[in-house]
Chains A and B, each alone.
Chain A
């Protein structure tokens, strides 16, 4: 094996990706096996097709180990932190939506999203979320008649 750290990191990444793909395939096979036999008289159990796909995915994982493809795409500085922040804020807003209602859940979520993405002006952090949530409510609830 090469002593070059970059080459070793590339090799480790390749093994990790291949193992992850093979692992996903193995999970598919296990899930398919848990479905049991068909409830009606037919040649194929409900898990036959998903199990076949799982086996193909396991084989593709092995293939990826032997044949390197596109390398991983690194994030920009601070990119991963912002990404996690955006997903967390959006997820929280979505989960709060049925609990506190559309506006009270999504307006603060929009303000938090802007803040995570780098907006610092208080006026923008207040007015843009209100305008955005108001606009979406007007379009969907009032114009299209979809209860939010």
Chain B
């Protein structure tokens, strides 16, 4: 049986389909409620899925990932609040369309654009994952170290204007990754005599703390406990022929931008959406409509943020470097299942590419189907006071974290990272680089030390691949710093 047939056959299991159905509903709800991000939901769901086999477990996690990128457009369009960061740019034109009485057309156009983007991204996954992992298979310790550095620098450079704070957060993550056994000598470091820390900081607990608990604590700190009143007059539901025609070019632009941005380690749909919006505006015959209810702006954004999903999974699984924060959580789950993401994964188990692509394809179809249902009652969910949601999610985070190792220490770690996360947010430190540092720290240290012990710095400096990747990293870091020199102009948003 070929890898493709074997991979797709794994989806024929009714339990896997049930997991996809469950993940779709959860993902749509997660996306719809502002304040619950896909990262938070996937981190929380990973506590449930650890008892499952990898394919059903991945079905839940990846379906939430895909469906949340459909559901998040609903609050972006109806209450001008992105459901997840990936739909930030959806508000630019989605909400103005809704205010003009075109909420229905905005919702359906956005759903179609998201589906097209998602399918194109999955095609990138199917065609690029195995060749990319075959190339990466040639990597030794110097090249792997350089790749890890590249992943870290990309996360920092996408921290916007907070480059130094991003670096500081990443460095703290790298330090926290040293807690536990030394990767070369096995000596305990910074465990404070707590046996649970000998294997390192519990990653899933840390992730749930940083992205789940911290986000709720930040909402508690910033918001009044009042549900927002959504636009309920949806108007016409289906786009007309003229509108469909106008969607073609922005869909193509969004797909291209999303595929490239999604493949960049650590860059998520929020960045892809904003870039696609500005590119579509530049290419449009009606740029003056952008920001005032342009269907072109809306479709470019949603195609792009969903087209990035497949390439993001490709980078994560083929290189072992997370494509975005959700993928960082998925890596944590894969490691617990005994699957090590990286170049050897797809060469040893090529069928997994097709299982993953199949899961994402079915999830896209299911999420599109749900998005096209005109359910007026569901819109009322947006009016629910956030205090109920906060309480439910906080307790679910605590119990979910406990369930991973049946350890209260993990729950304490979760809460500590929640407090750390909210302190970071208050002082403008992005949490993403910390997670990446925590995830990649051991890989970075072990490969750097191995490289240096083999032949000193020359081991790295004589590898053209390592040097090339390190040069790319340097350019990625220097570019935003140089752009913000005193006297230079900030790029317009």
Contact = CB atoms under 8 A, between A and B. Distances in A.
B168 interface: yes
A113 B394 contact: yes
A123 interface: no
B452 interface: yes
B479 to A, nearest CB: 16
Interface in A102-145: 106, 109-110, 113-114, 117-119, 128, 132-133, 136, 139-140, 144-145
Contacts of B162: 69-70
Interface string A53-72: 11011001101100101111
A72 B415 CA distance: 22
Contacts of A119: 387
Nearest to B418: A87
B221 A94 contact: no
B241 interface: no
B478 interface: no
A69 B428 contact: yes
A82 B408 CA distance: 24
Interface in B16-62: 48, 51
Nearest to A91: B415
A82 B396 CA distance: 20
Given A87-B419, A90-B415, A117-B387, A53 B175 contact: yes
A80 B171 CA distance: 28
A49 B445 CA distance: 7
Interface residues of A, number: 65
A53 B168 CA distance: 10
B402 A148 contact: yes
B190 A39 contact: no
Contact of B427 (A17, A83, A91): A17
Interface in A32-88: 35, 38-40, 42-44, 46-47, 49-50, 53-54, 56-57, 60-61, 63-64, 67, 69-73, 75-76, 79-80, 82-83, 86-87
A117 B178 CA distance: 37
Given A50-B189, A87-B419, A113 B171 contact: no
- Residues of B in contact with A, size category: 35 or more
B277 interface: no
Given A70-B161, A94-B415, A44 B190 contact: no
A104 B171 CA distance: 40
Contact of B168 (A40, A49, A61, A118): A61
Interface string B254-275: 0000000000000000000000
A91 B453 CA distance: 45
A75 B221 contact: yes
A144 B403 contact: yes
B406 A147 contact: yes
B456 to A, nearest CB: 9
A14 to B, nearest CB: 10
Contact of A38 (B187, B220, B412): B187
B36 to A, nearest CB: 16
User: Interface centre among B161, B172, B223, B427, by most A CB within 10 Å?
Assistant: B427
B425 interface: yes
Contacts of A38: 182, 185, 187
Contacts of B178: 49-50, 53
Given A43-B453, A46-B185, A93-B398, A75 B171 contact: no
A118 to B, nearest CB: 5
Given A79-B222, A93-B398, A39 B185 contact: yes
Interface string B398-429: 11001100101001100100110010011110
A86 B394 contact: yes
Contacts of B408: 94-95, 97-98
A38 B181 CA distance: 12
Interface of B: 48, 51, 161-165, 167-168, 171-172, 174-175, 178, 182, 184-185, 187, 189-190, 213, 216-217, 220-225, 387-388, 390-392, 394-396, 398-399, 402-403, 406, 408, 411-412, 415, 418-419, 422, 425-428, 445, 448-449, 452-453
Given A39-B187, A54-B175, A148-B403, 16 more contacts: A42-B185, A49-B449, A50-B175, A50-B178, A56-B171, A57-B172, A60-B167, A73-B426, A76-B221, A87-B418, A91-B415, A113-B394, A114-B387, A140-B399, A146-B403, A146-B406
